[in-house]
């Protein structure tokens, strides 16, 4: 990657607003990080904003005020009774990611932060059989409705959500028989983290034990999916937590954590937000600035995200294409970038394949969520490295190839004419090759390692695109100024097709279409692009 000018690096060390050119590169970066892939309609809309600040504020405000899809009938009728309903929840997640905007990005973030796995709720003792689908659906709705509000209140509401009460066994936590599962994760994973920014411990094992006593008494009513407080099971005795003594309950613990460890809680959540939206390798100075701002706005998550997404730091060139896509980012981005509306068959195919890629939706392996979204390990290894290895990379290629060529239950071969007409001139292979690549790759094209094609263009050498025609112009205007990557991309697209034969036709209704061999050439070209390592970056 080319180096970033010193002046720009200095500008991006804090959270000052981005005031430089608001162009396609910046708009594409914002859309990729706040949506799932830069769908053309979203990109065009965001480019039309006057500034990064207007764009960020609008996207966040729309997420705050979003109208949620209707609930499925099995949920409203209380008829959840088999695993197919859980699949329906996962399918709706995919639909929302495809159709929704920033809100669905936040739901993915929170479903990792407040990890709940439906698999671990299937046959819990004392729980109504097969009710987990409804509990999980209600959990998702909570993340949608509260995920951009007050972080303290979100911690409180998620702690009382029926899916969480079940998942971390707090429904089995009662006076005289404390269960520390939820207490530990409340401190370690939800609100504070084990250590502060300087490596000092945020709490002790005694704090965990005392919090476990404080959060006793919570149970779940499967009939109405509501958690409720049972005072008869509550330990009303005094507890000493974070150096303070009182007869704390769950609400009291949340209040205490945010009053006694305000700075630590702000830094903890801002570090995770930074890793998810900016870079897998957090910038300690910027995270601290975020944390201070978070406190100043009273833990208002919408304000924190507006501040980050409109900052010069966010638009620094080094962060464009710096993060490895997760499996769901890869697949939903593919659908959106190529204007493919996934059928139920395709969604089921993706649901199953994602199990082998370690990211089945709403089924993280552990309470820590998916490590690919999390801050670096204790040894400093960035979390996003977990998404790819020598087995997972070929699996991604194979799955997307199946989607292009219909080698799945859906069986439809992808027709590329729609996207060709939306992103470029479908009749011009030189523009088309470059524009398609630029559309789906987050890095500048001179940095993605395009294969060098030594063979010249097919066809009549006298009609080479750089030759001078009888009007005294190049056959392809400007060819002599084309960068090498553009020439190589065009050769890869065309293969054995002469450049001057590339064309599209119009049917009786005025719709463009490619002849089969042109469409196949473009499918092969897309297959080449998605196998570039750069395609795995966002």
Tell me the DSSP string of 141-205: HHHHHHTTSBHHHHHHHHHH-HHHHHHTTGGG-BTTB---HHHHHIIIIIIS-SB-TTS-BS--H
Q: What would the two tokens of residue 53 be? A: 């600040």
* Rounded-to-10 torsion of CA 51, 55, 56, 61: 140
Q: CA nearest 502: which of 487, 523, 517?
A: 517
d(CA 462, CA 137): 64
Q: Indicate the DSSP class of residue 15.
A: -
d(CA 431, CA 476): 11
d(CA 139, CA 89): 11
DSSP 363-425: --SSTT--GGGSPP-TT---GGGGG--TTHHHHHHHHHHHHHHT-SSS-PPP-THHHHHHHS-
Helix (H) or strand (E) holding 244: strand 244-246
pLDDT at 411: 72
∠ CA 109-368-323, rounded to 5°: 50
> According to the per-residue pLDDT averaged within each range, which of 65-69, 128-132, 213-217, 223-227 is highest?
213-217
Furthest CA-CA distance within the chain:
96
- Does the structure show a pLDDT above 80 at 13? no
pLDDT at 410: 66
Count of residues making up the chain: 538
Least confident stretch, 248-252, 324-328, 425-429, 510-514? 510-514
pLDDT tier for residue 7 given thresholds of 50, 70 and 90: very low
User: How far are the Cα atoms of 68, 75, 145, 313 from residue 138, in angstroms, in the given order?
Assistant: 13, 9, 11, 36
Over residues 297-335, the pLDDT tens digits come to 999 999 999 999 999 999 999 999 999 999 999 999 999
Over residues 191-229, the pLDDT tens digits come to 999 999 999 999 999 999 999 999 999 999 988 889 999
Q: What would the two tokens of residue 464 be? A: 């080479």
> According to the per-residue pLDDT averaged within each range, which of 1-15, 19-33, 394-408 is highest?
19-33
3-state secondary structure of 428: coil
Burial (Cβ within 10 Å: 0-12, 13-18, ≥19) of residue 301? buried
């Amino acid at each position: 990657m080319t180096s970033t000018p010193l002046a720009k690096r200095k500008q991006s060390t804090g959270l000052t607003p981005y005031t430089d050119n608001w162009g396609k590169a910046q708009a594409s970066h914002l859309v990729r990080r706040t949506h799932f892939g830069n769908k053309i309609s979203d990109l065009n809309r965001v480019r039309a904003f006057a500034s990064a600040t207007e764009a960020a504020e609008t996207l966040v405000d729309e997420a705050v005020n979003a109208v949620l899809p209707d609930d499925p009938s099995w949920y409203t009728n209380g008829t959840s009774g088999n695993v197919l309903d859980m699949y329906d929840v996962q399918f709706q997640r995919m639909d929302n990611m495809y159709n929704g905007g920033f809100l669905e990005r936040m739901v993915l973030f929170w479903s990792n932060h407040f990890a709940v796995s439906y698999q671990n709720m299937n046959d819990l003792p004392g729980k109504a059989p097969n009710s987990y689908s409804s509990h999980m659906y209600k959990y998702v709705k909570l993340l949608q409705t509260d995920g951009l509000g007050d972080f303290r209140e979100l911690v409180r509401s998620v702690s009382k959500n029926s899916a969480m009460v079940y998942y971390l066994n707090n429904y089995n936590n009662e006076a005289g028989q404390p269960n520390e599962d939820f207490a530990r994760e409340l401190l370690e994973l939800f609100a504070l983290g084990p250590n502060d920014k300087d490596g000092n411990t945020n709490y002790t094992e005694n704090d965990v034990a005392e919090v476990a006593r404080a959060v006793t008494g919570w149970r779940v009513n499967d009939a109405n999916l509501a958690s409720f407080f049972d005072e008869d099971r509550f330990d009303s005795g005094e507890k000493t937590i974070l150096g303070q003594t009182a007869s704390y309950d769950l609400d009291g613990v949340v209040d205490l954590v945010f009053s006694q460890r305000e700075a630590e809680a702000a830094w903890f959540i801002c570090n995770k937000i930074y890793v998810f939206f900016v870079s897998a390798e957090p910038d300690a100075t910027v995270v601290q600035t975020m944390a201070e701002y978070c406190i100043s706005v009273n833990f208002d998550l919408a304000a924190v995200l507006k501040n980050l997404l409109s900052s010069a730091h966010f638009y620094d060139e080094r962060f464009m294409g710096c993060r490895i896509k997760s499996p769901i980012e890869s697949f939903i981005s593919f659908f959106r970038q190529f204007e493919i509306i996934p059928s139920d068959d395709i969604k089921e195919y993706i649901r199953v394949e994602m199990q082998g890629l370690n990211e089945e939706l709403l089924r993280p392996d552990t309470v820590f969520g998916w490590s690919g979204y999390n801050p670096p390990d204790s040894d400093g290894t960035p979390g996003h490295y977990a998404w790819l290895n020598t087995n997972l990379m070929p699996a991604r290629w194979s799955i997307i190839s199946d989607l292009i060529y219909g080698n799945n239950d859906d069986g439809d071969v992808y027709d590329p004419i729609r996207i060709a007409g939306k992103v470029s001139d479908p009749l011009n292979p030189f523009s088309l090759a470059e524009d398609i690549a630029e559309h789906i790759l987050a890095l500048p094209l001179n940095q993605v390692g395009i294969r060098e094609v030594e063979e010249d263009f097919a066809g009549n050498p006298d009609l080479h695109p750089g030759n001078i025609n009888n009007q005294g112009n190049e056959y392809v205007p400007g060819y002599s100024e084309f960068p090498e990557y553009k020439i190589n991309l065009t050769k890869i697209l065309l293969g054995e097709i002469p450049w001057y034969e590339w064309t599209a036709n119009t049917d009786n209704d005025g719709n463009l279409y490619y002849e089969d061999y042109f469409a196949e050439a473009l499918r092969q070209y897309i297959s080449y692009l998605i196998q570039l390592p750069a395609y795995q970056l966002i």
